Amino acid sequence: MMALRSNTNAVRSPHYGALQDVVDAVYADKGPKDAVRRLEVVVAAEAADLPCDLMEVVNLLPPGSYTRQRLCDQLNSSIGGHAWGQVYGTVE
């Protein structure tokens, strides 16, 4: 059996769930239909001192406003595209 190397996308990062914390913080005082601007998400991610990989995911967000569901769909799409779901987790 082949051992997993630490640089594979199957090893959970110490930052696993950090992006979920950012999403929770951005929508803490908002309802499910309320929207936030991309800039709010970027600033919250920078304040959370996310690792470069997760900042890349956040910076890939197109300009605009996002309901929580739309933001999560967009972020999860980028996370999945990079195959980082097991490493950093997805958001809801």
Residue 35 lies in a domain: yes
Residue 3 lies in a domain: no
Domain count for the chain, please give it. Answer: 1
Q: For the full predicted model, state whether its pTM sits above 0.75.
A: yes
Residue 56 lies in a domain: yes
Residue 61 lies in a domain: yes
Residue 11 lies in a domain: no
**Is the CB of residue 19 less than 8 Å from the CB of residue 55?**
no
Taking the C-alpha atoms of residue 12 and residue 30, their distance in angstroms, rounded to an integer, is 30
Per-residue pLDDT tens over the stretch 41-72: 999 999 999 999 999 999 999 999 999 999 99
Residue 78 lies in a domain: yes
Residue 52 lies in a domain: yes
Taking the C-alpha atoms of residue 25 and residue 68, their distance in angstroms, rounded to an integer, is 11
One-letter amino acid for residue 6 of the chain: S
One-letter amino acid for residue 33 of the chain: K
Which residue segment(s) compose the domain that 70 sits in? 18-88
